[in-house]
Amino acid sequence: MSESPAAPATQGWRWPAEWEPHAATWFTWPHNPDTWPGCMQGARRAFVAMTAALQGRERVCILVNDAAHEAGAREALATAGVDPDRGVAFHPVPTDDGWLRDCGPVWLLRGAESAVVDFPFDAWGRKYPPWDRDAAVPAVLAERLGLPRFRASRVLEGGAVDGDGRGTILTTESCLLNPNRGPGRTREALEQLLADTLGARQVVWLGDGIAGDDTDGHVDDFARFVAPGVVVLAQEPDAGDANHAPLAAARERLRGLRDAEGKPVDVVALPMPPPLQAAGERLPASYANFYLANGVALVPTFEAPSDEQALAVLRELLVGRELVGVPCRDLVVGLGALHCVTQQQPLPGPAVD
């Protein structure tokens, strides 16, 4: 494993789109009781469902703190009828929490080669100490897997950006420009960071995120690429709802959007679920927090009539990909859903749309 502060994009490395072929999906088996108070078992059921849907499609790599943690994960999977030895690998990598999208490595490809970017992680602006074990995950995995590691200079979480694999990246001002992630977070500085590390040629700046999102507005909760030239955008028609204004503003910013190659981008409306709360606080429930894997899309559901509406929208867009609804009412109590807890390891090779 080599380590470098250099800009990987200048060396021919690229950040693949999520819909490109995967070698594996990584996540952490949930263990922090403060994140899922009183609903840990319900949250774990979402991880069981994800594992079941991914088996036979790509490898499932699960981080565990120790042997006891692994034994508990194995038992939960086996009890649900999921074979913990079929295409599943457990990795003893201690963590503080379960949000691997934000603290884990971001994989890059260069032909048949793989590497990772290690963005500094500080628990979304130092909100939830301790975070030192989470922050160490990219370096630990790069060492274990023997991969080159590029150390980025500024804090950035994986859920704060979404890309088309061709140089167009969606993000938000409320998160990326937030001074709680460190000094000097200007638009120019962050665009340079995204260009150097992820190969951004066009950064599309949206404004604020959705209500209840403690990340200061991660874009993966409301605006996502599903194919080159196609973005799904959550929309809230109720003018009295806290999400109506920021999502309407995002639609205005995306109006007439062209990607990094100058091609027009279609923006497709995705419904929002009814407001969900826990302990009197709004939860960031959203169908946009889906995860694309080999031949399948894992979509959060919330036991609401809008579940079927959202699945219908995504089914039309994701032709040839099976849609699996994963109940997330308990998972979202932790203030995130399926995309937030997963990280894809792309399969080396040429780009595939």
Question: In terms of Cα–Cα distance, which of 142, 226, 152, 151 is closest to 190?
Answer: 152
Is 65 in contact with 31 (CB distance < 8 Å)? yes
Is 219 in contact with 172 (CB distance < 8 Å)? yes
Respond yes or no: is residue 340 known to be catalytic. Answer: yes
| Cα dihedral across residues 261, 267, 273, 278: positive or negative | positive
Tell me the C-alpha distance between 114 and 17, whole Å: 14
Tell me the C-alpha distance between 207 and 217, whole Å: 8
Pairing of the two strands 149-151 and 3-4: parallel
- In sequence order, the 6+-apart residues with CB closer than 8 A to the CB of 124 are 102, 157, 214, 215, 216
> Exposed, middle or buried, 162 (CB in 10 Å: 0-12/13-18/19+)?
buried
39, 103, 175, 340: the active-site residue: 340
Name the percent of the chain in helix, strand, coil, to the closest 5.
Answer: 30, 25, 45
Where in the sequence numbering do the catalytic residues fall?
A: 340
